[in-house]
């Protein structure tokens, strides 16, 4: 069974609800009022879980080992403002060192890029692949832009065996600051609640936090 990006599932849900007169917002360019409160939280939860599931699938094409989380704040759950502060979007970054050496064979890199491209095409997307630079220092990119619920989904393969995945969802209507308060409240979520170094694409997904009950608890090494 082919996995579809989350925009497809949202479209099917929109069509189904349209039969009953209900409406789902599908972007910031709508005349309908932006959701707030519980409606905003529910929209964000669906958007978050679906985009994370899809990106995890892309990562898993390359490796299900733990990936290094990008810059602090790019875990993927913190909503950012977009479309003149009238909408929100999610953003994440992951990095992995493929292989045991710092030099990746060009054939292996091309094979990995082709595998990701095929995965995205099978999901109904139209990825673009290009090579930047020449020779041993070149960089291979596979990118999807403004499609499938993403503003940008980018996979980069470096000459040193490093692969980077970046994902930014399409802008959705709703106040990002209000949404952040709904998700995290007064909890400083980057202060130990969320992982600050690595996460595997097979780790269980969750949305929102439970104060006083960290999702990720690391064991303290024995003295």
Reported as a single tens digit per residue, the pLDDT across 103-156 is: 567 778 889 999 999 999 999 999 999 999 877 778 899 999 999 999 999 999
Q: 206: helix, coil or strand?
A: coil
For residue 37, the enclosing domain spans: 6-198
Q: Could you tell me if residue 213 is inside a domain? A: no
Question: What is the tens place of the pLDDT at every residue in 16-43?
Answer: 333 333 333 344 545 678 899 999 999 9
Return the closest-CA partner of residue 50 out of 113, 2, 5.
5
pLDDT at 16: 38
Please state the domain count of the chain: 1
pLDDT at 189: 60
Q: Could you tell me if residue 219 is inside a domain? A: no
This prediction has a pTM of: 0.81
d(CA 187, CA 122): 40
Question: What is the tens place of the pLDDT at every residue in 59-103?
Answer: 999 999 999 997 656 889 999 999 999 999 999 999 999 865 555
Q: Could you tell me if residue 220 is inside a domain? A: no
Q: Could you tell me if residue 69 is inside a domain? A: yes
* pLDDT greater than 70 at residue 176: yes
d(CA 33, CA 7): 20
Check which CATH number belongs to the domain holding 192 and give it. Answer: 3.30.2030
How wide is the angle at C-alpha 47 spanned by C-alphas 39 and 158, nearest 5°?
155
Q: How confident is the model at residue 160 (pLDDT cuts 50, 70, 90)?
A: confident
d(CA 137, CA 149): 32
Q: Could you tell me if residue 98 is inside a domain? A: yes
DSSP one-letter string for 128-183: EEEEESSGGG-EEEEEEEEETTEEEEEEEE-TTSEEEEEEEEPPEES-HHHHHHHH
Q: Could you tell me if residue 157 is inside a domain? A: yes
Q: Could you tell me if residue 211 is inside a domain? A: no
pLDDT at 101: 52
Alpha helices (H) in 27-105, listed in sequence order:
37-62
d(CA 51, CA 48): 5
- Residue 223's Cβ-count burial label (10 Å; 0-12, 13-18, 19+) is exposed
Q: How confident is the model at residue 1 (pLDDT cuts 50, 70, 90)?
A: very low
Q: Could you tell me if residue 221 is inside a domain? A: no
Let me know: does 183 contact 135? Beta carbons within 8 Å.
Answer: no
Neighbours of 206 (CB within 10 A): 15
d(CA 128, CA 131): 10
Which residues, in sequence order, are CB contacts of 215 under 8 Å at separation 6+? Answer: 193, 194, 206, 209
């Amino acid at each position: 069974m082919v996995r579809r990006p989350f925009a497809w599932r949202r479209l099917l849900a929109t069509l189904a609800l349209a039969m009953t007169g209900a409406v789902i917002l599908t972007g910031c360019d709508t005349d309908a009022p932006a959701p707030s409160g519980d409606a905003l939280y529910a929209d964000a939860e669906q958007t978050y879980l679906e985009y994370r599931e899809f990106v995890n699938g892309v990562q898993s094409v390359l490796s299900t080992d733990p990936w290094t989380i990008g810059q602090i704040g790019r875990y993927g759950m913190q909503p950012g403002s977009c479309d003149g502060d009238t909408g929100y979007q999610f953003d994440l970054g992951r990095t992995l060192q493929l292989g045991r050496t710092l030099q990746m064979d060009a054939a292996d890199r091309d094979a990995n890029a082709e595998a990701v491209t095929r995965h995205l095409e099978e999901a109904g997307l139209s990825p673009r692949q290009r090579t930047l630079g020449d020779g041993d220092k070149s960089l291979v990119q596979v990118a999807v832009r403004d499609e499938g619920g993403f503003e940008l989904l980018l996979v980069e393969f470096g000459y040193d065996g490093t692969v980077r995945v970046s994902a930014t969802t399409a802008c959705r209507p709703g106040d990002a600051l209000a949404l952040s308060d709904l998700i995290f409240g007064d909890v400083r979520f980057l202060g130990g609640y969320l992982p600050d170094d690595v996460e595997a694409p097979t780790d269980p997904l969750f949305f929102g936090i439970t104060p006083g009950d960290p999702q990720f608890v690391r064991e303290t090494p024995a003295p």
